[in-house]
A and B are shown apart, each in its own frame.
Chain A
């Protein structure tokens, strides 16, 4: 089992919407849709560490709260500044959910 947390991204959401549509039109079965989603989890978990080159740094003004449960870190940050070479984006609140990238075996 690989992490399913990337289903809640733009890419994952559109894929799910498309699959729902296809199921509605009867072109694929729900079982196939589930299979596709699992394949998506696997691929994106592989692709993100190996194929993505772009780098982004960010710095928070304050760590509001943190939490560690079931090997998942959750951080609520305030006044965050995202930086990619020249471009700068400022956000008031950011929530970061971070899982262990090394031992993905046996975890949801």
Chain B
């Protein structure tokens, strides 16, 4: 997975600000550090987010920053645990701009499933390993890619598949709908006090979901924070989860 991320030009990165956090921990010096520490992080986010949205006008710039970060901080703290963010899923949608005869696809296509009750055909390819849902309107959603680039190639491959099946398929209206990244903190998080501190943006309903749902406005993203320290980030754009890791 990491290699795919790297191919995209984005390195799995050590948490750039981690050293700072560790120092704060030393200042705090008691057991409630973990929570304090996370609060620090989360407060830090929006600011970083703003910075980054400015930067992301120039994507290369952002990448350079990202790459520069670990080198800046890697040396001094040898004990600093690494926090990698991994992009797990990229969902994109596109249109082939023609009507699709689902039955024809189901009968002649390869690696297809057509359950009429769902009203769509599910098609899979192995490289990049993704699943596409094809609707008769010509709209296609493709899930499972591990980078935006992979999602794009997968989407084009599905369009080509449909073209080979005899449809007048074109490739239009491609957009990344959702990006999911996960990372894991080297400490646990006490969710109840955490969500109390962040009322409004964080919601914690243990009966509905075991994690805190933390909604960010500025880079629009939703974080699910779990007591084990695992964090999942969903957003519309690949740079958002990457911003998160800089917190």
By a beta-carbon cutoff of 8 Å, the part of chain A in contact with chain B is 65-70
Contact = CB atoms under 8 A, between A and B. Distances in A.
A67 B110 contact: yes
B135 to A, nearest CB: 16
A68 B110 contact: no
Contacts of B113: 66-69
B112 interface: yes
B111 interface: yes
B71 to A, nearest CB: 44
Interface of B: 103, 106-107, 109-115
A67 to B, nearest CB: 6
A69 to B, nearest CB: 4
Nearest to B113: A68
A10 to B, nearest CB: 27
- Chain B CB within 10 Å, residue with most, of A66, A69, A70: A69
B103 A69 contact: yes
A68 B117 CA distance: 13
A69 B104 CA distance: 10
A66 B114 CA distance: 11
Contacts of B115: 68
Nearest to A76: B110
Contacts of B106: 67-70
Contacts of A65: 110-111
B107 A69 contact: yes
Contacts of A70: 106, 114
A66 B111 contact: yes
Nearest to B109: A67
A65 B126 CA distance: 11
Nearest to A73: B113
Contacts of A69: 103, 106-107, 112-114
A1 B107 CA distance: 22
Contacts of B112: 67-69
12 contacts: A65-B110, A65-B111, A67-B107, A67-B109, A67-B111, A67-B112, A68-B112, A68-B114, A68-B115, A69-B103, A69-B112, A69-B113
Given A67-B109, A67-B110, A70-B106, 18 more contacts: A65-B110, A65-B111, A66-B111, A66-B113, A67-B106, A67-B107, A67-B112, A67-B113, A68-B106, A68-B112, A68-B114, A69-B103, A69-B106, A69-B107, A69-B112, A69-B113, A69-B114, A70-B114
A38 to B, nearest CB: 25
Nearest to B114: A69
A65 B106 CA distance: 12
A93 to B, nearest CB: 14
A66 B106 CA distance: 10
A65 B124 CA distance: 10
A68 B106 CA distance: 7
A69 B112 CA distance: 8
Nearest to B112: A67
